[in-house]
Amino acid sequence: MKKLSFSIFSWILPIFIFSQSYEIQYAQPQGFAKSIEEGFSRYSTLKLKQDKSLFILHGTAGFDSANEERQELTVVTAEPDRWYFMDSRVGLLHSFEQTMIGNTFQISEEIPKLVWNLSENEKIIGGFACKQAFTSFRGREYEAWYAPSLPFPNGPWKLNGLPGLILEAKDKESEVVFNFYSFQVILDTSLRIDAPPCEARKVPFITFFEAQYKDGEKFYQFIADKMKRNLERSGNIHVEMKQSGAPRFWERKLP
Q: pLDDT-based confidence at 247, cuts 50/70/90?
A: low
Helix (H), strand (E) at residue 230: helix 205-233
Q: What is the mean pLDDT of the chain?
A: 80
Q: Residues 7-27: what's their mean pLDDT?
A: 62
Residue 28: the pLDDT is: 85
Residue 238: the pLDDT is: 55
Q: Residues 76-82: what's their mean pLDDT?
A: 67
Q: Residues 145-168: what's their mean pLDDT?
A: 97
Query: For residues 152 and 164, what is the distance between their CA atoms, to the nearest angstrom?
Result: 5
Question: pLDDT of 82-140, one tens digit each?
Answer: 999 999 999 999 999 998 888 999 999 999 999 999 999 999 999 999 999 999 999 99
Residues in the chain: 255
63 or 213, which is more confident? Answer: 213
Q: Residues 47-64: what's their mean pLDDT?
A: 80
Residue-range domain boundaries for the chain: 21-233
Question: Which long-range CB contacts under 8 A does 199-204 form with residues at least 24 apart?
Answer: 199/104, 200/96, 200/104, 200/105, 200/106, 201/104, 201/105, 201/106, 202/105, 202/106, 202/107, 202/108, 203/105, 203/106, 203/107, 203/108, 204/107, 204/108, 204/109
Residue 149: the pLDDT is: 95
